[in-house]
Amino acid sequence: MKIKVCGMRQQGNIEELVALQPNFIGFIFYEKSPRFVGEELNEEYIRSIPGNIKKVGVFVNASPGFILSTVKKYDLQYAQLHGNEMPDICRSIRQKGVNVIKAFSIDEKFNFAMLNNYKSFCDLFLFDTKGANPGGNGTSFDWNLLKKYDNEKPFFLSGGISIENVEEIIALSKTLPIYGIDVNSQFETEPGVKDISKLEELFNLVRVKEQEEAEA
């Protein structure tokens, strides 16, 4: 199971995270987010992050031009679209050679059938909790709702993921195409600053479990 750590922006904190070797690292390019990167990102350093760590730019209803120029500036591999973007936007970005993660906010009213309109134009889906903000609400949705998911497209699970519930997600991944977990606010000391020791605990937990299952 892949681990994506989102909402990074401080140089020293990013360097500490890179040392842990996450599979994905996310940067938020949405001005209304408390984790908005602003002018803080060191362009040269971000570009130099090793290729085995995939870099993700998170955008909310941004123009394709802004998304593509940001991807180019920081050498990002993925654009995560966290707003009300239509399938055409996903298609136009993907046609430019950028991998697309389309995020959806889930509650009991969510219509999983509408994902069929997106699946041809996205590499991965991301399911987050419907809340006041487009993301980073720090709460999990009812994961039983995922039983309605009848698609083969792999997805990231997001929203309120913590040390306490990650084993439940590992168990869920036996019956659902969970590609990875997307962690953020539960591992912070303040918005945009990650608690590296807590992340280390998470990484060890996930990787030990995987090792145990591989050997079983």
Q: What are the phi and psi torsion angles at 83 (to 5°)? A: -110, -145
How confident is the model at residue 136, as a pLDDT?
53
How confident is the model at residue 86, as a pLDDT?
97
Which H or E run contains 34? none
Q: Which segments within the chain are labelled E, that is strand?
A: 2-5, 24-28, 54-59, 78-81, 99-106, 124-129, 155-158, 178-183, 188-190, 193-194
Q: What is the pTM of this model?
A: 0.95
Please state the three-class secondary structure of 119-179 as a single string.
HHHCCEEEEEECCCCCCCCCCCCCHHHHHHCCCCCCEEEECCCCCCCHHHHHHHCCCCCEE
| Those residues with Cβ within 8 angstroms of residue 201's Cβ, 6 or more apart along the chain or in another chain | 163
Per-residue model confidence as pLDDT tens for the chain (216 residues): 999 999 999 999 999 999 999 999 999 999 999 999 998 899 999 999 999 999 999 999 999 999 999 999 999 999 999 999 999 999 999 999 999 999 999 999 999 999 999 999 999 999 999 866 665 557 899 999 999 999 999 999 999 999 999 999 999 999 999 999 999 999 999 999 999 999 999 999 998 877 777 787
How confident is the model at residue 33, as a pLDDT?
93
Strands 78-81 and 193-194: unpaired
Domain ranges in the chain? 2-215
Contact indicator for 206, 170 with CB cutoff of 8 Å: yes
How confident is the model at residue 139, as a pLDDT?
82
State the CATH class of domain 2-215.
alpha beta
